[in-house]
Chains A and B, each alone.
Chain A
Amino acid sequence: MTIQPAWQIPRSGLLWLLIAFVGVVIPHVGHLPPWITAGAIVAIGWRIQVYRGCWGFPGIWIKVALLALCIGGLLLSYGLLVGLEPMVALLVSGYSLKLLEMHRPRDALVLVYLGYFVAITLCLFDQSIAVTSYILVGLLLVTAGLAGLHQTAETTKHSAFVELGSLKTAAAILLQAIPLMLVLFLVMPRFAPLWSVPSQRDSATTGVSDSMSPGDFTRLGRSAATAFRVTFAGPMPPKRQLYWRGLVLSDFDGRAWRQAVPWGYAGNLVQWYGQPDGSWRGDIPRSAASLDYSVILEPTQNQWLYALTPSQPLTEGVGLARDHSLVNRVPVTGKREYRARFMPDSPRDLDALPSIRHFVETRLPPEFNPETRRLAAEWRAEEPDNEALMRRLMALFRREFTYTLEPPALGRHSVDEFLWQSKRGFCEHFASSFVFFMRAAGIPARVVVGYQGGEYNPEQDYLTVRQYDAHAWAEVWLEGQGWVEFDPTAAVAPERIEFGMAETLAGEEEFLADNPFSLHRFRDIPWLNRLRLQLDYLDYLWTRWVLRYDGVQEGLLSRMLGAVDPVRIGLFILIAGFLALLPVLLLLWWRRAGNPRSPLEQLYLEFCRKLEKAGLGRNTGEGPRDFAARASARFPADREQIENFSRFFERVRYAGSVDNLEEDRLRQQRRRLKRFRPGAVRLLTSKSA
């Protein structure tokens, strides 16, 4: 009886698996409950203690208890396990538990696969260059763990604490995979996900939300995150035209503005791209001036898109809503690229508003802001002309109001207090009070939220709009002109519109309060500013060519293949894959070519190959005599042939000189070797037997 020794994980393998564990889990720490992180640390410590021989592996009851703890904790933290974060949390806790259960090589392999999986889930949260590069590092570490599992003490040097041999092996493996990765990236069709990734819990922290209440925009002013990027097919319109309409808010409850129920519209509410034009679109004439542009929107988890007004969608799945904003068919969970046509001169809703719409666009909650209502009525009496009334209000703004990101807090009658007391505020205050005033004077008006301006990258010709460019402005309906956009903020702080938020507020404390070391704070230093623009461009390229590659792919493929069908794609993958791997093959071939085999050696190798096929391979370092003895014992029927051949080989190679080996002797042996079938069933002998 032999005692089976317990499997001992190679030290190098264990070390790399632990390093990979840490490397892969760390980026998840931010969106995991703290107890999972703590558990992971305990698991690592425990595993190290097991390795040092101080502690034992957990017994069955401890494992059951740990499992119950994890399940309970997950249920407590997330409730039902639906959504991305609970799933990742589940994965990471399983990853930690498996660490304590590594008894066999198979368990270690499971750990390796889990490591790959956890690494790739990072993509679900962020797909930027930095994170993608980090994922590559994670893959490298996990692969090093995999390599370390197969590197025994004899093949690794123990002098260093961390054996770099495994890492080198892993790097070599991954480097070889790169050509294939590129081919698959180019050709592999992008399938729409079979299920949509459940949105993240905290995803709504940035971006414009579907209501506007005091303070919303201050929050946006703190963030320099990219909202979207735009490239224009022609020259960029002037900055004062760059109003990126997101949502139209018509419903005011005294504090917040919301989208109103789309009452009173005839026909469909959204005109999707590709549908025949609805009746209500007839009022947008095809104006002469038009400008196509393309937007890459960062994920917002919302359906609305941002576009200049008025614009017409040019991308499948994008529609034009009745309030002239663009909407996406599904919430934007990944980066979304869409194209649209800006037609600056076309009026909107020229015909008189239906009475229900008129009611909705002028409705105000009666119990708020009595002072403003009273004054609006007073002014209305003095100024019967709508435009004159607006001019008068704007003049008031210009004369007495200050633009600041740190306005005093407002009470119950926010518009009254802003207009007649504090007189300090920013876009949302101006837009809100302007619209309120107009409605109180009986003019249909509504709030529009979105972004204004953006930063133009002159070298690369695209525009980056950031969260701090978020803006709110107004829209009024005038007889004979339809809806007209109107920005009261422009009256108070024209530089906000002309130069953008960053220029205007660079000194204010609230601006970018969340990231005090943001490069955006140092735009006065030219080289830093240039660096920032370059980084931004890199990110743009990444988004354009890697993340949104599927848009490019179809055209590229059809140009390369003629037509896109599965057979052609398959063939292309085969051929391109072969071509991509060709350098590796050539390298291997070249290495072998450096040590050419003599005809005799080739013959002997052929002999060994035949025996190996029959089930008996020659070991490395096994001499011809030893091998012949082993082969004869294994295939007694072929004994004579085996011994003859190896005697011939031995004589020529070791007793004579290879140079004066006669060609025909070699040829003769080659012929004999061809007929050599070790281990073959001989019908004749079996019959006679």
Chain B
Amino acid sequence: MNAPVANRQKLVDAVVETVAGLLMGKEQEIRLAMACLLARGHLLIEDLPGMGKTTLAQALARALGLSYSRIQFTSDLLPADIIGISVYEQASGAFVFHPGPIFSQLVLADEINRTTPKTQSALLEAMAEGQVTVESETRPLPKPFFVIATQNPATSTGTFPLPESQLDRFTMRISIGYPDPASERRMLMGADPRLQLARLRPCVQGEQLDLLQRAASKVQASEAVVDYLQRLVQYTRSEHQFELGLSPRGALAVLDCARAWAMMHARHYVIPEDIQAVFPAVAGHRLQGASDVVQRSGALVEQVLHAVDIL
């Protein structure tokens, strides 16, 4: 095993460990979030309130040394509230752009489905393009730029659920879920997470994150693994229990995340297990069961993995 590969794994492990110190017993979810970040994707967390979505986002920002802002989405939020606004300054006699909260490296978009489609699409556009255009002036967003959006599946009154096309822009969707009793007990017995968060020190400095992202994109995906991925994708498109198959963007996202996952596990090549590890999170929200198949999308994804062989 060559040194850089091992170093990268150590680096990622350090970040995961740090975050896991706050969000106890959720290592798998943290790793998925990391993989998503390393694949330069955006993350959608769908979970009940109080499960640690914000903690995850803040801890990640801290551990990675990223600038962080949080936008609480409400129904009266306007695009300008996110992107920023030009204000006339009497002192200089000119309009000066006041950047909105989106000009941060890690943006937590809380309860994204509570706001109007107009505002949603402003965020999603920024996510897709890595830049915003305000008053015919294009402003690049900071790099790396990582959005963690959350939505609450329990209360759907007065919400604007994201349509499939916009769901597709999120590389991954995960849910955190309740901690196991032991982890919860440790959390309850331990120090206040808010205090811990303030004490958190970044594990990654300066350019390192960018290097990691670059290394992830260079992980080798052999023909055999691409074959396997294509068979998975083909299965979702040809079998009748799926209303919608996996889009090419979805397929690419699976491969990118699998690459990141392989790198996180100190490998310079992708194996089927990498694909299987990220597939539910990447494909789950893109696949839709046929209208009359009453099933969770999770079960559908599991079905794909069990039906398509790796050979």
Q: Which one of B220, B303, B310 contacts A154 once the chains associate, using CB atoms below 8 Å?
A: B303
**A654 adjacent to B303 (CB under 8 Å):** no
Residue of B nearest to A154 (CB): B303
Against A, the Cβ 8 Å flags (1 = close, 0 = not) of B224-235 are: 110000000000
**A623 adjacent to B273 (CB under 8 Å):** yes
Most A CB contacts (10 A, CB to CB) among B269, B271, B293 go to B271
**B224 adjacent to A654 (CB under 8 Å):** yes
Distance between A628 CB and nearest chain B CB, rounded to angstroms: 10
**B222 adjacent to A655 (CB under 8 Å):** yes
CB-CB under 8 A for A654 and B292, given A623-B276, A624-B310: no
**A158 adjacent to B292 (CB under 8 Å):** yes
The distance in angstroms between the C-alpha atoms of A620 and B276, with both chains bound, is 13
**A653 adjacent to B222 (CB under 8 Å):** yes
Most A CB contacts (10 A, CB to CB) among B240, B290, B308 go to B240
Against B, the Cβ 8 Å flags (1 = close, 0 = not) of A409-439 are: 0000000000000000000000000000000
**A655 adjacent to B269 (CB under 8 Å):** yes
Distance between B155 CB and nearest chain A CB, rounded to angstroms: 30
Contacts of A619 in B (CB 8 A): 306
Q: Which one of A605, A623, A657 contacts B271 once the chains associate, using CB atoms below 8 Å?
A: A623
Contacts of A657 in B (CB 8 A): 222-223
Distance between A164 CB and nearest chain B CB, rounded to angstroms: 12
Q: Is A406 an interface residue (CB 8 A)?
A: no
CB-CB under 8 A for A654 and B270, given A604-B311, A621-B305, A621-B308: yes
Contacts of A623 in B (CB 8 A): 271-273, 276, 310
CB-CB under 8 A for A622 and B290, given A157-B240, A654-B224, A654-B269: no
Q: Is A625 an interface residue (CB 8 A)?
A: yes
Distance between B259 CB and nearest chain A CB, rounded to angstroms: 12
**B306 adjacent to A620 (CB under 8 Å):** yes
Contacts of A604 in B (CB 8 A): 311
Distance between A630 CB and nearest chain B CB, rounded to angstroms: 12
Q: Which one of A157, A601, A621, A625 contacts B306 once the chains associate, using CB atoms below 8 Å?
A: A621
CB-CB under 8 A for A650 and B271, given A159-B292, A619-B306, A658-B223: yes
The distance in angstroms between the C-alpha atoms of A605 and B268, with both chains bound, is 25
The distance in angstroms between the C-alpha atoms of A153 and B240, with both chains bound, is 12
Distance between B1 CB and nearest chain A CB, rounded to angstroms: 12
**A158 adjacent to B293 (CB under 8 Å):** yes
**B271 adjacent to A625 (CB under 8 Å):** yes
Contacts of B222 in A (CB 8 A): 653-658
Q: Is B241 an interface residue (CB 8 A)?
A: yes
Q: Is A626 an interface residue (CB 8 A)?
A: yes
Q: Which one of A153, A621, A650 contacts B309 once the chains associate, using CB atoms below 8 Å?
A: A621
The distance in angstroms between the C-alpha atoms of A521 and B306, with both chains bound, is 65
Q: Is B191 an interface residue (CB 8 A)?
A: no
Distance between B173 CB and nearest chain A CB, rounded to angstroms: 22
Distance between A502 CB and nearest chain B CB, rounded to angstroms: 57
**A624 adjacent to B271 (CB under 8 Å):** yes
**B311 adjacent to A601 (CB under 8 Å):** yes
Contacts of A656 in B (CB 8 A): 222
**B223 adjacent to A154 (CB under 8 Å):** no
Q: List 27 A-B contacts (CB under 8 A).
A: A153-B293, A157-B241, A157-B290, A157-B292, A158-B292, A158-B293, A159-B290, A159-B292, A601-B311, A620-B307, A620-B309, A623-B272, A623-B276, A624-B271, A624-B272, A624-B310, A625-B271, A653-B222, A654-B269, A654-B270, A655-B220, A655-B268, A656-B222, A657-B222, A657-B223, A658-B222, A658-B224
| A interface residues, Cβ below 8 angstroms from B | 153-154, 157-159, 597, 601, 604-605, 619-626, 650, 653-658
Q: Which 7 A-B pairs have the closest CB atoms?
A: A623-B272, A623-B273, A655-B269, A158-B292, A157-B240, A654-B222, A653-B224
